[in-house]
Structure 1
Amino acid sequence: MRTGKTLILATREFAKDNTAQSWAHILSTILYMLVVAAIIIWLPMWYLRLPASVLLGLLMVRMFVIYHDHQHHAILPHSKLAKWLMRLGGILAMTPSCIWQHSHNHHHNHNSKLRSTHIGSYPVMTSERYKNSTKKERLKYLLMRHPVTILCGYFTVFILGMCIIPMLDNLKANRDSLIALLVHALLYTLVISALGWTLAAFTIFIPFFTAGAIGSYLFYAQHNFPQVIFKDKEGWSYEGAALDSSSFCKMGTVMNFMTGNIGYHHIHHLNAKIPFYRLPEVYAKLPELQTPRITTLHPKEILRCLSLKVWDVEQQRLLPLKVAFPSDSAK
């Protein structure tokens, strides 16, 4: 069984973009989104529009994963047209490439390091550090990991985290964040003016809210799950962070399509240049990748992942607060 660099090298044969296939995925996804948006406008009843709005949100998740792959240079790395199209896509998704590349590359290079900053990922405290933190520090930490924060990812992660904060921090370097906010406001204005508040809610707000919630949760659960392993910088390795600290989220065919196979996250972290449409192929052909740490989208599993708060160094487990501090919860 291959490990370390040998295993990473074994994935290189799959890290090859098929130009026609990549464009087919991009254009078909855009087409699906436009068709569903048109159906929402055409449907007469709100209870028919609502599931269509959620479907549009799911397609937005797929489009985001495609954008994410392009930012990793996994697909169409030399296409100028794709570069500008994906830049526009990032602005529309409230995730400008200037912000995403910096934060996400940091995440890949520092995933599961206990002493690292939490740029591009949810923060993780050890139980000892949490215990010694001030009330203000604990509150800030718990708010960042709170289920409501993740559910409202459209506002907390994307509008605030990817646009407003970077813009206020350095407007010159992050001008795309300002552009994203202005484009988003313009989009709402145009749709409300042309179609009214109700259709604006069903064609913009609900889809973006759905996509933001799903995207925020997937990113959380990919690295915050019961079997995850965190390490100090000294014991950290790129392969270990991929296989021990990145989950394989088991999904059905429909959700694998909607999420662009992002559930194969352990493989993506092992080699981010593998196109999303080849991840199942890698899983099938490399036995070393077929025994991952598994999560699912079952409600009980979602609640279980969301309950995890602090890393216990002695037990080597991510624990809920009531398990990490049983005496405190009993008070």
Structure 2
Amino acid sequence: MPNSVTPPETLPTCHRSTIQTVREDLIQAVSKYAQPDYRKAFVQIANTFLPYLGLWALMIYTVLHGLPVWTTLLLAVPASGFLVRIFILFHDCCHGAFFPSRSANRILGYISGILVFTAYEDWKRTHVIHHAASGNLDQRGTGDIWTLTVEEYLSASRLKRLAYRLFRNPLVLFTLIPLVLFLVIQRFPSAGAKKRERNSVIYTNLAIAAIAVVMSLTLGFQNYLLIQLPIIIMAASAGMWLFYVQHQYADVYWARQHSWDLTSSGLEGSSYYKLPKALQWIVGNIGLHHIHHVRANIPNYNLQRCYDEVPALQAVKPLTIRKSFKSLCLNLWDEQKQKLVSFRSIRALPRLAIQAADA
């Protein structure tokens, strides 16, 4: 199967039928991997939660025995990695993919959601919207990175362009914004949240507050912050980076509603972020994101096997770590060129166009 899938709406009827057949064949090929397994799930719980809690115990030991601060901060590095991995298990639960049981997914989703400062029901709803609209230029704004087209940027007010440039600045996008997102924004229900989602935010906030109070009373508030803040800051920043490179890279797919295609969005609008084996394990195979967007309910522990056994998925060009850093300078979607471009590239546009935008 080729890497590029032509949107069926733009093809003659006979070709649309062919594309539909390709889509159905691909879905059928990956369906057998969308089978949650209790044994694999509990193994992941053991090799993820136990090391995380163990590192917390060691960090508590360092603060209670007056060891140098750097020893506590050093332990926060692997702890933040395991917190990212906990978020991947949380993510699987939101898709109903981690356990065969819906109730088991919900229970673990709530528990892991407390640890990652994210309400299960509310995030689940917005993430489903993200999957349904990923790569759709006409349905941006929920669960995605703020992205403007060149035309939208040039026609925006100076204040909006300044805000957009500030938002897309790597120092802001991968440090300040993740911290605000996890510590502040996610303490409130998302727009359009219903009773169940609002309640999940309340329960999660109460549980986080209870943990903070207990830890403060036993360790001291400053010691609690010394442990919790470095972990959540590093984990949130790493998570933001992963989400960014999953949908912001040189050959990414974006389309207007009339030509948007779900299969193209999965295979071309979601990267295959090829990581070293150790990092791939820590992030729960989330780098195989193109597979996840083709079939969202495949458990993370089945993604690599799915990739290895389905040739169509191997046609997607991998995004390496070195190449992923180049995406930092890609800030705007050029609808004419059908690719992401940099702020610098639009300097070559006629001065009159920019002057008209400033007027």
**Structure 2: which 5+ residue stretches go unaligned?**
3-21
Q: State the distance in 2 between where 1:151 and 1:228 align.
A: 24
| Cross-structure match for 1:269 | 293
Partner of 1:311: helix, strand, or coil? strand
Task: Call closer, same or farther: CA 1:132–1:178 in 2, change over 3 Å.
Answer: same
CA drift at 1:258:
1.0
Are 2:269 and 1:245 equivalent residues in the alignment? Answer: yes
| Cross-structure match for 1:130 | 153
Structure 1 segments (4+ residues) deviating >6 Å? 167-172
Give the AA of the match of 2:327: C
| Cross-structure match for 1:306 | 328
Q: Percent identity?
A: 26
CA drift at 1:274:
0.9
Match of 1:289 among 313, 335, 340: 313
Match of 1:90 among 89, 113, 116: 113
Partner of 1:318: helix, strand, or coil? strand
Are 2:47 and 1:28 equivalent residues in the alignment? Answer: yes
**Structure 1: which 5+ residue stretches go unaligned?**
none
Match of 2:142 among 89, 99, 119: 119
CA contact (8 A) 1:244 1:293 kept: no
Give the AA of the match of 1:278: N
CA drift at 1:266:
0.5
| Cross-structure match for 1:319 | 341
| Cross-structure match for 2:34 | 15
CA contact (8 A) 1:130 1:138 kept: yes
Using the size of structure 2 for normalisation, the TM-score is 0.83
Q: State the distance in 2 between where 1:185 and 1:8 align.
A: 43
Count, aligned residues:
328
Q: CA RMSD in A?
A: 2.5
| Cross-structure match for 1:141 | 164
CA contact (8 A) 2:110 2:204 kept: no
Are 2:70 and 1:47 equivalent residues in the alignment? Answer: yes
Task: Call closer, same or farther: CA 1:239–1:82 in 2, change over 3 Å.
Answer: closer
| Cross-structure match for 1:231 | 255
Of stretches 125-134 and 173-182 in structure 1, the one that deviates more from structure 2 is 173-182
| Cross-structure match for 2:9 | none
CA contact (8 A) 1:227 1:293 kept: no
Q: State the distance in 2 between where 1:170 and 1:134 align.
A: 34
Match of 1:108 among 123, 131, 137: 131
CA drift at 1:169:
7.8
Task: Call closer, same or farther: CA 1:150–1:169 in 2, change over 3 Å.
Answer: farther
Of stretches 162-171 and 268-277 in structure 1, the one that deviates more from structure 2 is 162-171
CA drift at 1:8:
1.6
CA drift at 1:165:
5.7
Match of 2:243 among 219, 223, 227: 219
CA contact (8 A) 2:189 2:198 kept: no
Which structure is larger by alpha-carbon Rg, 1 or 2?
A: 2
Partner of 2:247: helix, strand, or coil? coil
| Cross-structure match for 2:11 | none
CA drift at 1:154:
4.0
Task: Call closer, same or farther: CA 1:5–1:55 in 2, change over 3 Å.
Answer: same
| Cross-structure match for 1:59 | 82
CA contact (8 A) 2:88 2:283 kept: yes
Task: Call closer, same or farther: CA 1:172–1:240 in 2, change over 3 Å.
Answer: closer
After superposition, the C-alpha distances for 1:144-187 in whole angstroms (9 at most, x for unaligned) are 43321332344322233322363998788513323333433333
Using the size of structure 1 for normalisation, the TM-score is 0.90
Q: State the distance in 2 between where 1:236 and 1:121 align.
A: 17
Partner of 2:252: helix, strand, or coil? coil
| Cross-structure match for 1:166 | 190
Q: State the distance in 1 between where 2:125 and 2:160 align.
A: 25
Give the AA of the match of 1:160: V
After superposition, the C-alpha distances for 1:115-156 in whole angstroms (9 at most, x for unaligned) are 113201112211011111122332443444332133234432
CA contact (8 A) 1:15 1:74 kept: yes
CA contact (8 A) 2:37 2:100 kept: no
| Cross-structure match for 1:156 | 180
